Structure 1
Amino acid sequence: MPGGSIYVQQDAKYAGSSPQWYYEKFWREAAKSRQRSRMIKAAVGFVAGIGLALRFGLDLVPFYGLALAGVVAAADWWWAWNSFRATAVWRGRRRGEAITGRLLRRSLRRRGYRVLDGRAIRGQASIDHLVIGPGGVWIVDNESWSPDTEIAAYGGRLFFGEKYGTSVAKPLVDTADAFAEMLKRETGVAVTITPLLAAHSGSLPRGGSVTAEGLTLLKPRLVARRIKAAREVVLDDAQIELLARTAARELQRS
């Protein structure tokens, strides 16, 4: 193992043969190409700004050309960087559960929701977040796929590219049922838990979400919005407190 240790297993995401490693390599190598493209776009913006200033009889004509060129260049830089940053979880540079947990707390706590991170039923699968609030109960997990993986639903089936998504959906649906059964048994409150999966990378349909096989996959920034969309109040404050305390006591940290 050149440059490494025979006793320490390297992280596959940083090994020279991984898709993540190649993605970062090609991104760095394409920097000059992006800069040339940005300069061309800025030049077009400069000409357009000059043309608009002349068309409307504005003073300081060169200023508008430079201003529009700057806006075009900045927008192009932001789009390129944001596209690269969106793959950070897939590349192992950021933790999806940390991102989603922060978004959930920021949006839901002031609305009376409780968010518990990293929970599991002993001997069964774990989840990243358990959300309990007026609109009901949800489990939220995090996952990422390569940027070119199309996430879609056809005929009620979930697909990741050409692969069926049952192996992803079924464990989360089963875990939601197991969590609901445990909470009902311990509290006497009948709840239905909705499973959600925050997809940090991958190509989702327009709108940023897809639902199939009992599971909804959506962009992380849309998870809290989906939970808040449950307008009907199904749990009162006492039930929320009871469920949250029971979950904190009975579910071990994963």
Structure 2
Amino acid sequence: MAIMERGNRQETRGRPPQGESEESREHRHETPVKEASEERSYRAMLSDPQVRRWMWRIGTAVVIGAVGSLVFGVRLGITAAILAVIVDTVRRSRRNSTVSAWQKTSAAERRTEKQLRSLQRNGFLVLHARAVPRDEDGVSDGQIDHLVIGPSGVYAIDSEKWDKRLPVRTQSHLKLFHGPFNRKDRLDEARWEAEQASRIIGEQVGFEVPVQPSVAIYGPSIPWKVMRVRDVDVYAGNRARAYLRRRPKILTDTDVQGIFQAAEKVLPPKYPD
């Protein structure tokens, strides 16, 4: 009798509870799996830097909006929250777009170098990646991507790769904008490099050597041929060769050779072998 009772109890444990359907049993087993999958998806979403960034922005906006509403009223509080999101978005976009573009200048330099190579038959000589100025230890923070000496003069060309999604425009020949960003610092740097090269080369040859700064931009569309902005010539990168060829002759072959030899001596390579 005891053996039969133990068998009945074991049989009962092996069977599903009375009234539980097959569908209920499947749902009971699927629930932990589904919850684990949802948890992994949630963690993956939180690990996304862009999602975290927007969560931070929204949280900051909520705090600013709440405080602003208590102090200045609901309307000004909401306005302050929106402005906080816009300012943070623009700040990060500038850092990403600008830093992401400057790291690719080597490709732009190679494209300009290819154009300048064909000008040698027209009497142009070129030095690439020259340091200006150098201190007593030979260290320099500045670099002229391409120093061009030819019949039409001396030019310091900087090759830039910018985000093609942002338009380029000027304002009164005094400001250069890439999207919403003022590139005054880039123009001032190009002009400073050219001024240093002019001074150093002039001291070496014994006469004034004007050096015209310019920026060749790759990526975005440039709606003009050549535009002088803050004394710096700005043009599309693929126009570098035409920019130099269509200018009047002001230097003799002897002048070109003398200036080139002086520049090669006083402007060392930025990255020596």
TM-score (norm 1): 0.60
Q: Name the SS for the 2:251 alignment partner.
A: coil
Q: Structure 1: which amino acid aligns with 2:214? A: L
Native 8 Å contact 1:186 1:246 kept in 2: yes
Number of residue equivalences: 166
1:142-184 CA distance string (max 9 Å, x none):
1111112111111222111122121110010011111011111
Match status 1:98 vs 2:115: no
For residue 220 of structure 2, the aligned residue among 188, 191, 202 is 202
Q: One-letter code of the match for 2:169?
A: A
> Do the aligned residues in 1 keep the contact of 2:105 with 2:161 (CA within 8 Å)?
no
Q: Deviations over 1:117-143 (max 9, x none)?
A: 110121341111000011100011111
Query: Following TM superposition, by how much is the alpha carbon of 1:90 offset from its aligned partner in structure 2, in angstroms?
Result: 7.7
Residues 133 and 17 of structure 1: is their aligned pair in 2 closer, same or farther, counting only changes over 3 Å?
farther
Asked whether the equivalents of residues 149 and 260 of structure 2 are also in contact (C-alpha less than 8 Å), the reply is yes
Look up the SS of the partner of 1:98 in the other structure: helix
Larger Rg: 2
CA distance in 2, matches of 1:17, 1:214: 41
**Is contact 1:211–1:217 with CA below 8 Å preserved after alignment?**
yes
Cα 1:91–1:163 shift into 2, 3 Å: closer
| CA positional deviation for 1:211 | 2.8
Unaligned regions of 5+ residues in structure 2, if any?
Answer: 1-47, 51-100, 135-139
In the aligned structure 1, how far is the partner of 2:104 from the partner of 2:193? 25
> Residues of 2 paired with 1:111 and 1:93: CA distance?
27
1:185 corresponds, among 195, 198, 203, to: 203
- Which structure shows the bigger proportion of residues in helix conformation? 2
Q: Are the equivalent residues in 1 in contact too, given 2:162–2:218 (CA < 8 A)?
A: yes
Aligned to 1:170: 188
Structure 1 consecutive aligned stretches of length 4 or more whose deviation exceeds 4 Å: 89-94
Give percent identity, aligned residues only.
Answer: 24
CA distance in 2, matches of 1:93, 1:150: 18
Q: 1:143 pairs with 153, 160, 163, which one?
A: 160
1:66 corresponds to: none
| TM-score normalised to structure 2 length | 0.56
Counterpart residue type for residue 103 of structure 1:
Q
Could you say which residue in structure 2 is the equivalent of 1:229? Answer: 246
Please tell me the root mean square deviation across aligned C-alpha atoms, in Å: 2.3
Counterpart-to-counterpart distance in 2, 1:90 and 1:126: 13
Structure 1 residues 238 and 176: alpha-carbon distance in aligned structure 2, compared to 1, 3 A threshold: same
- Using a 3 Å threshold, how does the CA distance of structure 1 residues 193 and 173 change in structure 2: closer, same or farther? same
Match in the other structure for 2:262 = 246
- 1:211–1:149 Cα change, 3 Å: farther
Residue 128 (structure 2) pairs with residue 110 (structure 1):
no
